[in-house]
Protein backbone atom coordinates (compact mmCIF):
# COMPACT_ATOMS: atom_id res chain seq x y z
CA UNK A 1 0.00 0.00 0.00
CA UNK A 2 1.42 3.40 -1.00
CA UNK A 3 0.37 5.92 1.70
CA UNK A 4 2.31 8.79 3.23
CA UNK A 5 1.33 11.10 6.08
CA UNK A 6 3.58 14.09 6.83
CA UNK A 7 3.41 17.20 8.98
CA UNK A 8 5.79 20.04 8.33
CA UNK A 9 6.40 23.58 7.14
CA UNK A 10 6.26 24.85 3.56
CA UNK A 11 9.96 25.57 3.01
CA UNK A 12 9.78 27.32 -0.39
CA UNK A 13 7.43 29.54 -2.30
CA UNK A 14 4.58 27.55 -3.85
CA UNK A 15 5.07 27.20 -7.60
CA UNK A 16 1.86 27.05 -9.65
CA UNK A 17 1.68 25.64 -13.19
CA UNK A 18 -1.32 25.39 -15.49
CA UNK A 19 -1.66 22.74 -18.19
CA UNK A 20 -4.29 22.25 -20.89
CA UNK A 21 -6.98 19.76 -19.87
CA UNK A 22 -8.67 17.06 -21.92
CA UNK A 23 -11.60 19.31 -22.83
CA UNK A 24 -11.27 22.55 -24.81
CA UNK A 25 -10.66 25.54 -22.54
CA UNK A 26 -10.10 23.38 -19.47
CA UNK A 27 -6.97 24.05 -17.40
CA UNK A 28 -5.33 21.65 -14.96
CA UNK A 29 -3.54 23.34 -12.07
CA UNK A 30 -0.53 21.92 -10.23
CA UNK A 31 1.05 23.43 -7.12
CA UNK A 32 4.49 22.21 -6.04
CA UNK A 33 6.76 23.07 -3.13
CA UNK A 34 9.27 21.64 -0.66
CA UNK A 35 7.99 20.55 2.74
CA UNK A 36 10.39 20.75 5.68
CA UNK A 37 9.88 17.78 8.02
CA UNK A 38 11.70 17.05 11.27
CA UNK A 39 13.78 13.89 11.37
CA UNK A 40 13.90 11.83 14.58
CA UNK A 41 17.28 12.05 16.29
CA UNK A 42 18.67 9.88 19.08
CA UNK A 43 20.92 12.61 20.52
CA UNK A 44 18.32 15.40 20.66
CA UNK A 45 19.65 17.38 17.68
CA UNK A 46 17.10 19.12 15.49
CA UNK A 47 17.54 17.85 11.95
CA UNK A 48 15.15 17.75 9.07
CA UNK A 49 14.45 16.69 5.53
CA UNK A 50 13.08 18.57 2.54
CA UNK A 51 10.47 16.61 0.62
CA UNK A 52 9.12 17.55 -2.80
CA UNK A 53 5.29 17.75 -2.72
CA UNK A 54 2.74 18.42 -5.44
CA UNK A 55 -1.03 18.69 -5.47
CA UNK A 56 -3.54 19.22 -8.26
CA UNK A 57 -6.85 20.92 -9.07
CA UNK A 58 -9.01 22.76 -6.57
CA UNK A 59 -6.77 21.66 -3.73
CA UNK A 60 -3.79 23.35 -5.44
CA UNK A 61 -5.74 26.60 -5.84
CA UNK A 62 -6.86 26.54 -2.19
CA UNK A 63 -3.33 25.85 -0.99
CA UNK A 64 -2.00 28.92 -2.80
CA UNK A 65 -4.90 31.08 -1.61
CA UNK A 66 -4.72 30.19 2.09
CA UNK A 67 -1.07 29.23 2.66
CA UNK A 68 2.43 30.20 1.70
CA UNK A 69 6.06 30.12 2.74
CA UNK A 70 6.46 28.95 6.39
CA UNK A 71 2.84 27.77 6.72
CA UNK A 72 2.47 24.59 8.77
CA UNK A 73 0.45 21.85 7.06
CA UNK A 74 -0.32 18.16 7.32
CA UNK A 75 -0.59 16.08 4.17
CA UNK A 76 -1.81 12.62 3.24
CA UNK A 77 -0.92 11.21 -0.12
CA UNK A 78 1.21 8.78 -2.06
CA UNK A 79 4.79 8.52 -3.24
CA UNK A 80 5.44 8.83 -6.99
CA UNK A 81 8.84 8.14 -8.55
CA UNK A 82 10.04 8.41 -12.13
CA UNK A 83 13.30 8.49 -14.01
CA UNK A 84 14.21 11.92 -15.33
CA UNK A 85 16.85 12.47 -17.97
CA UNK A 86 17.31 16.03 -19.22
CA UNK A 87 19.53 14.80 -22.08
CA UNK A 88 16.65 12.88 -23.68
CA UNK A 89 18.24 9.44 -23.36
CA UNK A 90 15.56 6.73 -23.11
CA UNK A 91 17.06 4.65 -20.29
CA UNK A 92 18.75 5.60 -17.06
CA UNK A 93 18.82 9.10 -15.68
CA UNK A 94 18.02 10.34 -12.21
CA UNK A 95 15.28 8.90 -10.05
CA UNK A 96 13.01 11.75 -8.93
CA UNK A 97 10.49 11.16 -6.19
CA UNK A 98 7.73 13.37 -4.84
CA UNK A 99 4.69 13.06 -2.63
CA UNK A 100 1.39 13.64 -4.41
CA UNK A 101 -0.84 15.18 -1.74
CA UNK A 102 -4.42 13.91 -1.90
CA UNK A 103 -5.46 15.71 1.31
CA UNK A 104 -4.00 18.82 2.95
CA UNK A 105 -4.82 20.04 6.45
CA UNK A 106 -3.97 23.67 7.20
CA UNK A 107 -2.37 23.95 10.64
CA UNK A 108 -1.43 27.65 10.54
CA UNK A 109 -4.38 30.04 10.88
CA UNK A 110 -4.95 32.36 7.96
CA UNK A 111 -4.22 36.03 8.64
CA UNK A 112 -7.25 38.33 8.58
CA UNK A 113 -7.20 40.55 5.49
CA UNK A 114 -6.84 44.30 6.04
CA UNK A 115 -10.08 46.15 5.39
CA UNK A 116 -9.70 49.54 3.70
CA UNK A 117 -6.49 50.36 5.54
CA UNK A 118 -7.70 49.38 9.03
CA UNK A 119 -5.00 48.17 11.40
CA UNK A 120 -4.92 44.61 12.65
CA UNK A 121 -4.89 43.79 16.38
CA UNK A 122 -1.12 43.19 16.23
CA UNK A 123 -0.63 46.69 14.78
CA UNK A 124 -2.83 48.37 17.41
CA UNK A 125 -1.11 46.96 20.52
CA UNK A 126 2.28 48.74 20.13
CA UNK A 127 0.49 52.03 19.42
CA UNK A 128 -1.61 51.71 22.60
CA UNK A 129 1.51 51.02 24.69
CA UNK A 130 3.29 54.03 23.23
CA UNK A 131 0.30 56.30 24.00
CA UNK A 132 0.42 55.39 27.73
CA UNK A 133 3.95 56.71 28.20
pLDDT in tens, 21-43: 888 888 899 999 999 999 888 88
Three-state secondary structure call for residue 78: strand
Instruction: Please state whether beta strands 4-10 and 27-39 pair in parallel, antiparallel, or not at all (unpaired).
Output: antiparallel
- What is the dihedral sign for C-alpha 72, 77, 79, 82? negative
pLDDT digits (tens, 9 = 90+) for 38-50: 988 888 788 899 9
Domain boundaries, the chain: 4-132
pLDDT (0 to 100) of residue 111? 57
Distance CA 98, CA 34 (A): 9
CATH architecture classification, 4-132? Beta Barrel (2.40)
pLDDT digits (tens, 9 = 90+) for 75-132: 999 999 988 887 777 777 788 999 999 999 999 887 544 444 434 333 333 333 333 3
pTM of the model: 0.74
Amino acid sequence: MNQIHLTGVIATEIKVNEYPGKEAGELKVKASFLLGVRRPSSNGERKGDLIRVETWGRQARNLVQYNGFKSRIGISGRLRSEFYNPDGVQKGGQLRSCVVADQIEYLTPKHAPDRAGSATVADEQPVAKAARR
